[in-house]
Amino acid sequence: MVSINGRAASVLDVLACVIISKTKTFISLGYNSRRVLRGFRYINIKKVISISNKKEIPNEFGSVLDIKDLNINLTLNIRGRTKGKGFAGVMKRYGFSGLNASHGVSLAHRSLGTIGSRQDPGRVWKGKKMAGKMGNTYIHLKLIKIAIINKFIGRIVVYGPLPGGPNSILHIQQQYY
């Protein structure tokens, strides 16, 4: 995170992607996360992703998509996987206050408490907030403003925080009006 004009901003290193295959509605892109792709015959493709084919882009096999097509006046849609927190209790996961730390509550101070009703309905309602795995899910951020684009070294600076930790892979799409 950096600060630009008093606002928090995140720095992204953007990898070039090579078109592997194309259908009517989707384009398959391949990239190597260790280095920027220079040309199609010199790379070793490590990962393949599919995107929807809404914009008119060069769709030939082996053509490279880079940030030279981005416009600083438009906004971005960013999709990424959040940090995984593992198995978390209800106090960490939902911010519950827990039970009293007084008489009668033995070794259950951070627990959920009661989870169901009486004989009617005689079950636990769907969607009940309980302990479980936290994080490690995809999140979509929309209308993210671009602060700086450096096309020579393949770097973008956007306003605000982004999902995931350092060196996580994000999918960037330019928002068109």
Domain residues for the domain of 117 are 85-135
* Same domain (yes/no): 131, 89: yes
Statement to judge: residues 98 and 175 lie in one domain: no
Domain harbouring 144, CATH code: 2.40.30.10
Q: Are 143 and 124 part of one and the same domain?
A: no
State residue 155's pLDDT score: 87
Work out how many domains the chain is built from and give that number: 3
pLDDT digit string, tens, across residues 131-167: 999 999 999 999 999 998 888 888 889 999 999 988 8
- Tell me the pTM: 0.71
Q: What is the mean pLDDT of residues 100-124?
A: 86
Q: What are phi and psi of 11, to 5 degrees?
A: -105, 130
Q: Are 27 and 173 in contact (CB under 8 A)?
A: no
Clarify whether residues 106 and 176 are in a common domain. Answer: no
- The reported pLDDT for the residue numbered 57 is 60
Q: Dig out the tokens for 57 from the structure.
A: 């882009």
Residue that wins the pLDDT comparison between 13 and 91: 91
- Residue 31 and residue 109 share a domain: no
| DSSP designation for 69 | G
